[in-house]
Amino acid sequence: MGIHKQYFFLSFCLWSFCAHSAEVTLANGDRYVGEVVDGALNGVGTYIWADGDRYEGEFLNDRPEGSGTYRWVDGRIYIGEFQSGVRQGRGQLQWPNGDLYQGEFVNNMMQGMGAFTWANKDRYRGSFRNNQRTGNGSMSWHTGQTYEGGFHNGQMHGLGTYVFADGREYQGAFVLGKKNGVGTFSWPNGNRYTGSFADGQREGDGVFFWRDGTVYRGQFLANKQHGYGVKEQPNNLLELQQWQNGEMLRAWSIRANEFCDFQHRSRAWMFSADSCINGLAHGRGVAVSLDGDFVVIGGRFVLGQMVAGELINIPRTERDHTETTTDG
């Protein structure tokens, strides 16, 4: 948005009268018609620049002050308040293409609370800073989507809720217009994902809930299951799964194995291998805690003791977190 001439014109000192109306054309081609008090533009008048811009309204000491209308030669129109020659206070600014802003201005810029309506009927209502949607606000698109939450420099940023036209919904963190951080994505059919997002996609640790009660807790990459996770059936049966780019590579039913006992982190674990000795975990492979909360990959075990391996935390469900909080 362009900024009109902030400071208007030389003081008119050629009048010696206290107050009167005047019509004056300056050497540069600018023209003024209106009230003059003590040699300065004071009162109501119209100032027309040689390049075609035009202001009609109140003046104080040669500057717009109070209410007025500023028209640019390119077709933009501002109607509202002025202070010391700049747009300041409440007003509305309209563009030739039909875009319209109504709200607060500071030093010629859209700043404070306001509403912006695009020519295509997209609408925003909320906070502005330096001509940009910044702060909290709500956005509705003519195509049916809505968003309510944080903005930064015109983009969704911070915590917010985005609802798609088809009923899908995301609640969570945004970074510069994309889903980033922790959030929940819901589908109209009842399916739901809660967990990490990166660059707009499900990525990292997350939990996927199917409407039939099946739950997958594990790792995701580019919106697909990728890595290790635990699948929980509605009948409480647990299964450890290994995925790669949305394709399942292996699966193990999680149940106690009396021939490969393994205790770690005050939990019972499952480890299956032909190399177990005297009922104790022994050899190399993958182990999973019987509650499905931890997985050891690349593990090496010697007589029931883990001597090497990477421990992975499997994300828990909201129910698990609630029970943990309730149990203290």
**Residues of the domain holding 261:** 257-328
Q: Where residue 169 falls among pLDDT bands split at 50, 70, 90?
A: very high
pLDDT digits (tens, 9 = 90+) for 261-294: 988 888 999 998 889 999 999 999 999 999 999 9
Query: Is residue 7 scored above 60 in pLDDT?
Result: no
Q: Does 195 map to a domain?
A: no
Tell me how far apart the alpha carbons of residues 115 and 103 are, in angstroms, rounded to a whole number: 6
pLDDT digits (tens, 9 = 90+) for 90-122: 999 999 999 999 999 999 999 999 999 999 999
CA-atom Rg of the chain in angstroms: 34
Query: Is residue 26 scored above 90 in pLDDT?
Result: no
- The predicted model gives 159-168 an average pLDDT of 98
Q: Where residue 19 falls among pLDDT bands split at 50, 70, 90?
A: low
Query: Is residue 247 scored above 60 in pLDDT?
Result: yes
Q: Does 131 map to a domain?
A: no
Of 104, 119, 134, which residue is a domain's last?
119
Q: Does 128 map to a domain?
A: no
Q: Where residue 12 falls among pLDDT bands split at 50, 70, 90?
A: very low
Q: Does 27 map to a domain?
A: yes
Q: Does 92 map to a domain?
A: yes
Of 70, 97, 119, which residue is a domain's last?
119
Note the pLDDT of residue 10: 36
Burial 281-303 (b: 16+ CB within 10 A, else e): bbbebbbbbeebbbbbeebebee
Tell me how far apart the alpha carbons of residues 17 and 243 are, in angstroms, rounded to a whole number: 89
Tell me how far apart the alpha carbons of residues 70 and 63 are, in angstroms, rounded to a whole number: 13
Of residues 99 and 14, more confidence is placed in 99
Write the CATH number for 62. 3.90.930
Query: Cβ(101)–Cβ(93) under 8 Å?
Result: yes
- The predicted model gives 120-138 an average pLDDT of 98
Note the pLDDT of residue 142: 98
Query: Is residue 68 scored above 90 in pLDDT?
Result: yes
For 61, the 3-state DSSP assignment is coil
Q: Does 277 map to a domain?
A: yes
Of 119, 135, 169, which residue is a domain's last?
119
Note the pLDDT of residue 322: 44
Q: Report how many domains make up the chain.
A: 2
pLDDT digits (tens, 9 = 90+) for 217-245: 999 999 999 999 999 999 889 999 999 99
Q: Where residue 21 falls among pLDDT bands split at 50, 70, 90?
A: confident
Query: Cβ(203)–Cβ(213) under 8 Å?
Result: no
Of residues 241 and 320, more confidence is placed in 241
Note the pLDDT of residue 326: 40
**Angle CA(229)–CA(230)–CA(231) in degrees, nearest 5?**
125
Tokens of 301: 């075990």
Q: Does 161 map to a domain?
A: no
Note the pLDDT of residue 228: 96
Note the pLDDT of residue 319: 56
DSSP per residue over 118-186, as a string?
-TTS-EEEEEEETTEEEEEEEEE-TTS-EEEEEEETTEEEEEEEEE-TTS-EEEEEEETTEEEEEEEEE
Q: What integer best gives the mean pLDDT of the chain?
A: 90
Q: Does 170 map to a domain?
A: no
